A and B are shown apart, each in its own frame.
Chain A
Amino acid sequence: GENVEQHPSTLSVQEGDSAVIKCTYSDSASNYFPWYKQELGKRPQLIIDIRSNVGEKKDQRIAVTLNKTAKHFSLHITETQPEDSAVYFCAGGRGGGNKLTFGTGTQLKVEL
């Protein structure tokens, strides 16, 4: 089955700096990679996703890159703000309603 590893487990940045979270996956057939943000006591919410037919996707301050050859993908948050503080989960799967495998999460703290 799929195995997704996520690093770092905690990340602290100064407001305005960039944050990068990295994930690797093991199943070469995986073709769908969403990222979720979970604020304390709240549900995980999708913030961006990427499919294997593209290498990069951007939405305002958030971008995701995918390297299929190396089987890794990364989340980039620019100009971080305090409200970006949360736990971020990456996930990978074969799509089509197939089971997603989640990373272990990254606690991002944006300090003033």
Chain B
Amino acid sequence: GAGVSQSPSNKVTEKGKDVELRCDPISGHTALYWYRQSLGQGLEFLIYFQGNSAPDKSGLPSDRFSAERTGGSVSTLTIQRTQQEDSAVYLCASSPLQGNQPQHFGDGTRLSIL
């Protein structure tokens, strides 16, 4: 079946612009996660949507970052007034809510801020 789909795959934008990154999870997966990965670094947790519960936003680095998940499926991560330090790969993952199930990752969006 289809995996986690992210778009765009690459995004280059000027400092100060807003960007929107999209994640389409695996069908039926009710948990959705966003991570940030800087070059050569680990996975930095950003935000987590779990079914109909309030999202866990504890990893968002600043109020310029926000995310929403409409209809329990597609999620959008928005970065306002981008800064050069926002340059990274943004990864989305999804998993079933019940049981001990692995997260499945998308290919990520490589964001470059000029």
Residues of A at under 8 Å CB distance from B?
A: 31-32, 34, 36, 42-46, 49, 51, 89, 95-105
Contacts and interface: CB of A to CB of B under 8 A. Distances in A.
A31 B101 CA distance: 11
Contacts of A100: 33, 103
23 contacts: A34-B102, A36-B105, A43-B91, A43-B107, A45-B105, A46-B102, A46-B104, A49-B100, A51-B100, A89-B42, A95-B100, A96-B97, A96-B98, A97-B51, A97-B96, A97-B97, A97-B101, A99-B33, A99-B48, A100-B103, A101-B45, A105-B41, A105-B43
A97 B102 contact: no
Given A43-B105, A44-B91, A45-B105, A96 B45 contact: no
B99 interface: yes
A45 to B, nearest CB: 7
Interface of B: 30-31, 33, 41-43, 45, 48, 50-51, 56, 91, 95-108
Given A43-B108, A49-B102, A97-B50, A102 B97 contact: no
Contacts of A42: 107
Nearest to A100: B103
The 6 closest A-B pairs by CB, nearest first: A95-B100, A97-B97, A32-B100, A97-B31, A43-B105, A104-B42
B105 A31 contact: no
Nearest to A6: B42
Contacts of B104: 46
Contacts of A44: 43, 91, 105
Contacts of B100: 31-32, 49, 51, 95-96
Contacts of B42: 89, 102-105
A112 to B, nearest CB: 23
A93 to B, nearest CB: 8
Nearest to B58: A1
Contact of B56 (A49, A95, A99): A99
Nearest to B51: A97
Given A43-B91, A44-B91, A44-B105, A99 B99 contact: no
